Amino acid sequence: MAFINEGYYEVCRKMYIAIVDDNVSEVDLLKRHIEKYIAKTNRDIRPVCYYSPTLFLAEYRSQFDLVILDIQMPEIDGLKVAEKIRRSDKSTMLVFITGMSQYAIAGYKVQAMDYILKPVAYYDFSYMLDNVFKRSESQKQVSIVINNKLGSSRIQVSDILYIEVQNHKLFIHTRDGVVETWGALTTIETELPKLMFSRINSGVTVNLNAVIGVDNDSVVLPNEVLPLSRRKKKEFCSNLARYFGGKTHD
């Protein structure tokens, strides 16, 4: 099963944020800052608060665009939570809330985008949120979360080379390797950007941005050549020309 991360697909429309902090008063302060930011900017932000980092990790499925972590928590500190997130999710943005600036250096190890010192002032918090939206909008990335027997992981669509189906299993070929899941090719295609992917035969859809060339009845990708069926050739070549023609005029 795969599902689209809506926060990345429509970054200007919604932003899903998790706040992980065992201190109720500090969480309430951040919630007030978010409410004020929404009122000033008209952004659509969906915050979810966790007072237990253990509960957060138990429910985490790469569903958040931003995770705000308190570093000093009794069950498990924020840095360790961030390390666990990064094992399966490389793209979710992380921000630390801390009372001591020396923790900022440790944040680089988990690719944290920012840290804010306590007590959290609205100016600092709103500046951070501005940067979060700027990064999302500049990346214009779509990501999907893949669920399988090993758990779940987030994949940037731009990293996908092609997806094939074999015996009701989906094999997602990315620049970093192959991810296996289950489902129908038609189902996952509805979750992908329509103009970015195109079928080359009944069991394979290709990321047009990864196509190096078309050679007779083959599609050339980085380090791989895939068969192009006669039935799909005209449609595929038309989609390919439209895609690169559209990109030229962006």
Please choose, from the candidates 29, 76, 68, the residue with its C-alpha nearest in 3D space to the C-alpha of residue 52: 76
For residues 175 and 129, state if they share a domain: no
Give 47-70 pLDDT, tens digit per residue.
999 999 999 999 887 788 899 999
Contact 198, 239 (CB under 8 A): yes
Query: Which of 122, 139, 156 finishes a domain?
Result: 139
For residues 62 and 22, state if they share a domain: yes
Query: Which burial class, exposed, middle or buried, applies to 59 when counting CB atoms under 10 A from its CB (0-12, 13-18, 19+)?
Result: exposed
For residues 160 and 233, state if they share a domain: yes
For residues 155 and 221, state if they share a domain: yes
CATH number at residue 128: 3.40.50.2300
For residues 97 and 125, state if they share a domain: yes
Quick check: bond before 193 cis, omega within 30? no
CA end-to-end span of the chain, whole Å? Answer: 33
For residues 21 and 89, state if they share a domain: yes
Cα 219 from Cα 249, distance rounded (Å): 24
Q: Is the pLDDT of residue 122 over 80?
A: yes
Per-residue pLDDT, 178: 92
State the pLDDT confidence band at 5, using cuts at 50, 70 and 90: very low
For residues 14 and 134, state if they share a domain: yes
Give me the mean pLDDT over the 5-9 stretch. 33
Beta bridge partners of 49: 19
Structural domain that includes position 24: 10-139
- Does any domain span residue 5? no
For residues 114 and 220, state if they share a domain: no
For residues 185 and 100, state if they share a domain: no
For residues 135 and 148, state if they share a domain: no
User: Count of alpha carbons within 13 Å of 200, Cβ hemisphere only?
Assistant: 27
Task: Return the amino acid letter for 49.
Answer: C
Domain tally for the chain?
Answer: 2
- Does any domain span residue 1? no
The whole-model pTM stands at 0.57
- Does any domain span residue 225? yes
Give 33-46 pLDDT, tens digit per residue.
999 999 999 999 99
For residues 131 and 148, state if they share a domain: no
Per-residue pLDDT, 11: 32
